[in-house]
Each structure stands twice: as C-alpha cells, then as structure tokens.
Chain A
C-alpha cells in the first residue's frame, strides 16, 4: 500500500500526495537510525542507479531540454505583450533581444505586405506552443526515467533483502523483532525508492532550472530580478524546515498509531476476555487514551502543513507585489517595457513550483539517508552460519549422528555443557528434562541452526561445519514445536520441503501423521487454504501437519522437538506405529515432556541445566531411582490413582 500511494499521485497532484496518516498505520513504527554516513549511503545508492546508464543519460538530457523549454515560455509571453503593444505604436521594442532578432528576421522573410506585428504574434504563438509541447514531453520522459530507475532499484533492494534474510542464521532472527525486519523491508525500501525517484534526478533538474532562471532574470534587470527572487530563499528554507518537521512528527505519529493498533488488535483478539470481565468501559478508556494521543500529533501535522502552505503562498505574492510596484514604476519611467514586466511575472510563476519542491527534495535526501542506512545495515551482515568455501555435500553411509562433547551458550549463559551421545540408524534416543534445560538446543544444533561453541557434531564421521548447509538440512528433518502455516493449500503446506513431490507421497505422509482423515473430510480436501487467510487448524492439527511435512521428505535423521505436545497420547501412538517402517533404518531423536512419548526409546537422556545427568533405557532409569523416576512417578501416578489427587506433593 505504501508503494502505491506515492506514485499514484506522484506526477499528478503533488498537493494531495500527503497520504493520510491512518492509511499507513498497520503497526509500522520506525525511528530514524543513525547508521552509516549519509555520504556513503548516497554513494551506494548512486552506484546502483548508475547501472541504469541509458535511462540516467536520457533523464539528464531531458532535464536540460525541460529547463530550456520551461524558461523559454516567460520570454515568449513577455515578447507577445510587447509585440501587441510595441508594434501597435510602430516601435519594435520587444523584450529580449535574441527573440527580437529571430522574429525580425523571420518577419523579413515573410516579407512586406503582411502586417509585421501580426506576423510576429503568430510566430510567437507557434513558438509558445512548441515550447509547451516540448516542456510536457521532456517532463514526461524525465519523470518516467526517474520513476523507473527508482522502481528498478526498489526491486533490486527487495530481492537482495529477501535473499539476505533467508540466509541469516537463527541467532540473528531470534535477536531481532520480526515486525522491525518487516518494516525495513517495506518502509525502508520504499524510502530509498522515493529518494531515487524524487530526489536524485530532481535535484539536478532544480539546480539547472532555478539556476538558469535566476541568471536570466538577474542579467535582464538586477533590481527587478532581486525583488522577484526575494521569495526564493524564504520558501526554500520554509519548505525544507516544514518537511523535516513533518517527517520527525510523522515518526512519532506512527509510533502512537501502532500503539493504538495494538490496543484495538488485542481487544478484538481477546474479545472473550473482555466480555467475560464485562470490561468494555475499561477498554474504551484505553482506546480513548491511545486515540487522543494520535489526534494530538495528527493535529500538529495539520498545523505545520497549513502554516507551511499559506506562508509559502504569502511570500510568493509579496514578491509579486514588489515586482509590480518597482517594475510598474520602471515602466512609467520608460526604463523597461510592459512586456519585460510581464516576463518577470511569468518567470516567477514558472519558478514557484520547482522552488516549492526544494523542501521535498531535501526531505527526500534525509529520508533516503536514514532508510538506506538501515537497509544497508542488514544487507551488510555476513551470516554467521554459512558454507565453508570448500564445503562438500554430506555423504550418508549409514546415518549415524554423534555429539562430541558439545557445549553451547551465549557469553555467560551456558545452555549446553559437554554433551556427548550417539544415535545409530534404526535407534531412537529420547531426551527429557525440565523447561529451559537445553533440550531444544540439541535439536537446533543438528541442522546447524546454531553452531556449537565447543565440541563438534558429526554425521557418519563428517563434521557438520564441513558440509554444505543444503545437503545437511535435506538429510535432517526437525519437527518443530511451533508450526508455521503458510497461506497456501494444505497440499502446498505438506509439500513445503519438496514442492515436486507426487500426490501419493503427500497423502501417505498426511495419513501417517494421522491428518489424512481430517483433510479428506474438508470440503476442499488437500486444496483447502490454510494459514492467515484460510481455515484455522487446532494446535494438534498443526503439529500433525508439521510431522507430515517432515516425514514426507524421508530425511535420514528425524528429530521430534516436543512436536506432539498438543496431540493426545492415543493419536501419538498411532503416528508412531505408522512411522515404524520409516524409522527402522533411520536415527531418531524424540524430545518431549511427556514420558509416554519416549519411554520406548533405546536410550533416554535426562538433561538438567545443559548436562546429561542420567542416561539409559526406561527400565534402567527407573531402577536407578533418580530424576527420571521422580518424573515418572509424577506423571503416571495420578492416572493410576483413583480419587482426589489435587493435594499431591509440591512441584518444585
């Protein structure tokens, strides 16, 4: 939405291009960040623009053409007044000698017999028409070149950004707010695009046009020129200051708007809580507070805009009054012709629009530097997990996974501490332990979502850091605890890891995950849309979909990371039964809170504070009578007991 508003109005009605703030709401708050130096940012953007050599070249040519045509118009208008007046009195005193000369020579060629004044008027009119058409055409090309270069760069940045995000590791994504990343990808790309489109080429145009215009006016008549130009510095300064103020206020407003969005979104999402506490009044108060905060800032915005527009208009017309008065006196004193006076007035109105744009252009530079800086910050990150230059594809001989004294953590926070174990094909290792003990970290280290801090992990003797990420992740299937559904059909979601998979493989995987019957009952079957805009699935169904997604790929190694928490025990049993064929020659790791999920494992590791504190088979661990046994007592006993168990022992 952001992109469009800009250019819908872009070349058309500049005055209305102020997008209403609420239109941009959608929870995007972004503050200007001081990143790389502005000059560096502009250099990079300009380098990108230089790829569009021809468009840039053509754009520059049309800039000079447009300026030329634009500035010819006031001269012609002035001449026409003198032609109508001066020739009437038989005294050729047409403003601007060059035009006089050319018109005089043409009048000579046309020859006697015709009225020279009328001939001059006709010639001026034709020239005026040509200048106008030329101005329109060159402005068209100039704008189009600017916009298309901007769009092209926007496209490129978007692709680079997308690609970079896909390659950045989990530790990066875990540390960044997703909303912030999305904002950068949308708002900041847009900011750079607008910079290229409105500031880069236009600044050249403004310099050429205003510079030449000023030169022409001052060389014509210094005093009158100075008076006519007296509004220029004022408007340039005023519009720049207003644009910068508007922008910083806009950021504040966005922040308030996203707070308001949050209030409304939470209210609607938690509507049942609101209803059950009959807290409508409380919620309305929250809404009013947030709403009034946005109103105050929106009013500031309106105020700045109103005074800016009216003051700019005033400055321009005061200069015009000055020109009329001083110029009028000069006309009366016969120092200049009426045509020359008209020419000054026409120059002023031609220059008004470009001078107003100075503010927008400077704002474009400020915005381009801030947004570009933020964008390049992300683009310049080198992913901390990537293929070594000489990485080879993983070669599976039998599929044995081994952890060698693996430790992991951030700074002082140790999550895993010297963990060693081995899973052989056809075997299952169960991992259990209290929340935060490091169980999931084990699952994340195998596909190299993170790298161990110490120790190393091998599959069939190959260090994971020496093989390509792509081959590794194809060999390892991790069924995550939280399932992300993409807005697509169920079929496309199940086939997410292998979109070339034949129908029967997708269906078999869904059936094994005990999701097939549910899908068959849906009116759209496998084509039913799920995700944000489709059917919503329950937690258990999502987890089953996630299992289907992974087993469809028949990975050499399967890790279930607490991926059956929302699935009842009986269904889980059936899933496990369906998977025996698949897992019989593969290594499997099951991480779970629920002992019944992993009691059957060949080896069970009990993890506490990043260390393996107990290991062995279910029976061995029970006879040991340690933590595992305690947990077993806690989980299984209530079900075997009849009567009230609510006053059972402490949980800690």
Chain B
C-alpha cells in the first residue's frame, strides 16, 4: 500500500490555497568566502584558547608529517631491507620499528587533534552564544520590538553552529593543506620526473571541482530549502489540525503537501546526482595517475634509474592525494556560510546598548513611591512623537488609571516609568530620582510591572511566583497566592505549588495565569506597580477574582494602571485621559463625568473598553468635547 494508492491526487489545485511559505533561496546568502572583519573579530573569541589551539595545530602538523612518512618508510623497506638478494633480517626489523614509531606519533597526534579541536570548537560555540545572549539582555526594547524571536533564535543556534563548523574546518583545512604540500614535496623528492608526470592530473581535478562546485552547491541548497519547507508544512498542519479537520481541508492540503514533498524529492535526487557524480571522476583520475606510475615508474625501474620502493610509495601516495584537494574545495562552502553567519551574529552584538547605567548611578534602598513626568516628549520613530510634553504627578500610594483610545500613548507612558526607553525631552522621576540616575537593578526592585499578557516560564508554579526574587520563601509565595485568590486553584492542581507548568502555562486558563502574575508582583513587593490590564474577556467568576486581586495588589503601593475595565477605571483615585500623546483631562470618575469632556462622552458610548471604540466615534466625541471647550 503506497501513499499514492490510498489517496490519489485527483483534485485540481484551488486558486486560493497555499501551504506553508518557507524560506526562499534568496534568504540563503551566497556570500564571500573571506571577510577580514568577521575573521578578525572571531579571532578575539579564539584568543582565549590560543595555547590550546597551538597545541592542536602542532598535533595536526605532526599527524600530517607522520602520515606522509609512513609510505616513505615502506619505500625504504622495499629498497633497503628487501633488495634483491638481501639476507640481513635485522635491517627489516629496524625499519619496522621505525614504522611503529611513526605509527605511534600518528596515533597520539590524531587523538589530540580531534579532541582539542572538537572541544575548543564546542567551547567557542558556547562563548559566542553567551555573548550574543547576554547582549540581547541589555539592548533596548525598541530593537526587540521590531525583531522576530524566531530570527534571533536562528542566530543563537544556526549561525553559531555555522561558526563552530568553520573553526573545526579551518584547523583541519590547515592539515589538508600541509598534507597536500607534503605529498607533492615527497613525490618530487622521491623522483621528480615521475612526480611531475603523476601530479599532472591534479590540476585536472582542481578545474573539474571548480566547475562542479557552484552547480552542486545550488543543488544541495535547493534540497535543504525544500526539505525545510516540507518540515514546516507538516508542523503547521499538526498545529492547525482543528482548523484543518473542522473546515474539511484534508484533501486540498494533501495535494498541496504532495507538491511540496515532490519538489523536495526531485531536489534531493538532483543533489544526489551531483554528489555521486564526483565518484567516477575522482576514480578515473586516480586510475590515470596509477597507470602513469605503473608505466613510467615500471619503465624507470626496468631501466634501473628508479628503485621499486619508489614505485610502491607512489602508488600509496596516489591513493591519498585527491582527498585534501576535495576537502579543501568543500571547505569553501563552509567558509561562505560561516562568513554570512558571522556577519549576522556581529550584527546583533553590535546593536548599541543605548540604555545603560550611568557610571555613578545610584541604588537607593528605599524610595517613596512617587512618579512624576516633567515635560516629557517621547516617540519610537524620529519626528513622530507619541507623547508630547506630558506633565503629571502620582503621589505615593495613589492609584492612577490611564485611559484613552488606542495609540494615545498609554503603553509608552508606563514603559518610561521603568526606563524601557529614554525620553527625548523632559524627565521621568521615580521616588524623586531621575530614572536615568538610578541603576537598572534598582528600578527592577522598586517598580513591578504586570503585563497584559501574563507570561509564565516553564518550571513549577512556585518557581514562577518567586521568579527572580532572591530570598523569597515558600511562605511568601503561599501568602501572595492567598492574597490574590490563587491559592485555591493551585491546591486543586495535582502537585499543588510543585505542579510543572506546560509551555507558556498552557495547562492554566488565562484568568489563572493572570492571578499568578499578580502573585509574582506581590512577592516582588515593589513600591510602585505598573499594570496593563488584560482586554480579553474571561468568565465572570475569574473576572470577579481578578478585580479583588487587583485591589489587594494595589494595597500600600503606588499604582499606575492602563485600565480597560470600567470597574477598574471607576475604582481609581484619579483618571488620566490621554489622547494623541497629550493629557486631555484628569480627575476621578465623578469629576470627569461632571466635566462632560471626552471621558464622559466615551463612557456614555457603553463600550466595554475605550480601546474598542471605532475611530469615527472617537473623532465625533473629540469634536464634541472640543466644541464644548471653546
């Protein structure tokens, strides 16, 4: 039973269906094989292992020399010990002992070259990845905002691996090169005439290899790309299986997948052809070289100008001297990949860290919990400010709700409190200190943020609530969970606080994840809490729990909340209404309602959240509010 029999492709391909668009060929860079800058910077990472690498290179050279010596010793066995009419067996024994010594060197050098090069390469891989990862931890969020996680991950994995491969290759390439030179030298030294004649086939291989390589590489690349497309298409279908079955897309998808899989099959077979094509070429050239050795070498031996051992040594060398040439041209590919990967890695490492601690930044033990924005102007794109000359103050212990339509600058305001970004103009103060004068760590300690989408790490619930708080105990965690009303559901889980969370907390509901992120903020116990309320509606039971938890969370803290729920907004001490990067009005709910400004107009539209109000209605409300004001 074959796939084709069970499910013949009989349908025509529909016009509006596609399947998993994978990377294209253009995304795989065919770059230069040597980039001085990349190599130069790469050397810095290698520098730490300089001594080891010298040992490795020595081992490579010893290995190569002993490899060349072995056929030469065999030659001497023939020409000295086994000379026609020789009877002295001690000569043979001496030769065999010399042979054994060479073998010993060869063995030890071989072991160490493999071991050291391999281990250093692994080590450098880790170092580079760590350097990049550590840098990513520090670069500004504006870079992270516009960079896909998948892309960064592929740099942290694929590109680093390509550089590792490069290092291994580079060391062995040295070996191959030495071996090639050594073999050529030995052959010429043994008999230059025979040597030159035999070596005549080398350029032929070299030329064929140069012609073959670009086509072969193209075919290998096609095979790789089509294969990753097939894998991606499979993965997508598995992840979206509910939609696939629910919408009866099985037949169409099967046909589309068949197209991809067939592409891959063809590309793979094509790549195989290019791969195996070199086998007869190399064997033909080897055969030619051996024929030359047999005829010319044989004639020389017959003529008495060359001893038979030379001929034997030549035959042994001929078997080997194509390897380094082929390896060297194959390395070219690795070099190209490594240069492109190196560029991508250093691109990340070179992203400037624009938000870093001042040399004399301070870390106060206690702060008073006030926040103030003084003439703050800020944006992400030059000349397009999101916040325009904002001024407001939050007193210690006060809860302020930020409201306003999408794009009014609420999220930016909260991000500035934690100094995720630096302001263009003006000052943001926390506890009376300019945030730029505080250390990043002290902001982390005094300002907690609860994000709209609760993010949980894999690990246990306990670990997630403690997160990075040093010295937090289990009691603290339980107390925090009780305070936010998460204790009950945690205890109902199979392992209680020790329950392992699935990826992103997949085994919990959205509401439960939110409660855990609240508990995490309580354990962190900061003076200031910045919270972005979730917009998605959850079932009303959990909703209620969350409202109560919010209340608990705010107790004794300064709160700045991007509020979406009317209940939260009304519960705030003060409401700041933002629009187009400016503050339009502020006050508590009753004051603002009495004011009959934008807030009251938006409120009376009965939307669940201000974010959802269509633009045209906001424009109406704004006009009305302004009309009233003037």
Contact = CB atoms under 8 A, between A and B. Distances in A.
A191 to B, nearest CB: 14
Given A166-B250, A268-B149, A280-B137, A569 B275 contact: no
A285 to B, nearest CB: 10
Interface stretch (A119-127, A204-212, A216-224, A225-233): A119-127
A593 B537 contact: yes
Nearest to B169: A16
A274 B242 CA distance: 33
20 contacts: A4-B268, A20-B164, A77-B315, A84-B298, A159-B4, A173-B241, A185-B231, A269-B149, A273-B449, A277-B469, A321-B103, A328-B81, A435-B542, A491-B16, A492-B17, A532-B150, A539-B535, A638-B567, A642-B589, A644-B571
B588 to A, nearest CB: 10
Given A264-B133, A277-B524, A1 B228 contact: yes
A617 to B, nearest CB: 20
A22 B284 contact: no
B207 interface: no
- Majority-rule SS of B interface residues: helix
B157 A140 contact: no
Given A160-B3, A162-B254, A651 B545 contact: yes
Contacts of A160: 2-3, 6
Interface stretch (B179-187, B451-459, B622-630): B451-459
B315 A12 contact: no
A26 B179 CA distance: 37
Contacts of A644: 570-571
Contact of B326 (A13, A76, A311): A13
Given A11-B279, A500-B14, A279 B302 contact: no
B211 interface: no
A395 interface: no
Contacts of A473: 245-248
A303 B117 CA distance: 11
B462 to A, nearest CB: 15
Interface stretch (B289-297, B365-373, B422-430): B289-297
B248 A20 contact: no
B279 A309 contact: no
Interface string B418-457: 1010000000000000000000110111011101000101
Interface stretch (B30-38, B84-92, B377-385, B574-582): B84-92
A461 interface: no
Interface residues of A, number: 191
A324 B75 CA distance: 11
Interface string B597-618: 0000000011111011100000
Interface in B68-124: 70, 74, 77-78, 81-82, 84, 86-87, 89, 92-93, 95-96, 99-100, 103, 106-108, 110-112, 114-115, 118-119, 122-123
B548 A83 contact: no
5 residue pairs, one from A and one from B, having the closest CB atoms:
A278-B444, A132-B287, A136-B283, A136-B280, A279-B468
A85 interface: yes
Given A345-B316, A492-B17, A565-B536, 12 more contacts: A1-B227, A4-B223, A11-B279, A12-B330, A87-B302, A154-B268, A182-B235, A268-B153, A470-B248, A484-B240, A499-B16, A571-B612
Interface residues of B, number: 190
A416 to B, nearest CB: 19
Contact of B100 (A4, A115, A321, A635): A321
Given A273-B451, A643-B570, A646-B551, A155 B265 contact: yes
A83 B149 CA distance: 69
A639 B547 CA distance: 13
A128 B287 contact: yes
B319 A349 contact: yes
A486 B295 CA distance: 67
Contacts of B302: 84, 87-88, 115, 117-118, 121
A275 B418 contact: yes
Contacts of A593: 537-540
A89 B231 contact: no
Interface in A336-360: 338, 341-342, 345-346, 349
Interface string B132-157: 01101110010010000110110011
A299 B125 CA distance: 12
Contacts of B247: 473, 496-497, 549-550, 553
Contact of A645 (B156, B241, B567): B567
A317 B157 CA distance: 39
Interface stretch (A35-43, A101-109, A145-153, A601-609): A145-153
A156 interface: yes
Contacts of B122: 295, 298-299, 302
A186 B264 CA distance: 13
Interface centre among B290, B503, B613 (most CB of A within 10 A): B290
Interface string A21-54: 1110110000000000000000000000001000
B394 interface: no
B89 to A, nearest CB: 6
Contacts, number: 543
Contacts of B277: 140
Contacts of A532: 150, 236
Interface string B295-309: 101110110100010
Given A125-B291, A165-B237, A635 B540 contact: yes
A414 interface: no
Interface string B467-480: 11100000000000
A282 B544 contact: no
Interface in A251-304: 261-262, 264-284, 287-288, 291-292, 294-295, 298-299, 301-303
Given A4-B224, A264-B156, A284 B137 contact: yes
B243 interface: yes
B129 interface: yes
B395 interface: no
Nearest to B225: A4
A85 B77 CA distance: 15
B85 to A, nearest CB: 9
Contact of A325 (B93, B144, B238): B93
Interface in B250-301: 250, 252-254, 257-258, 261-262, 264-265, 268-269, 271-273, 275-284, 286-288, 290-292, 294-295, 297-299, 301
Nearest to A133: B284
B599 to A, nearest CB: 14
Nearest to B122: A298
A4 to B, nearest CB: 3
A402 to B, nearest CB: 21
A303 B249 CA distance: 50
Contact of B21 (A154, A294, A488): A488
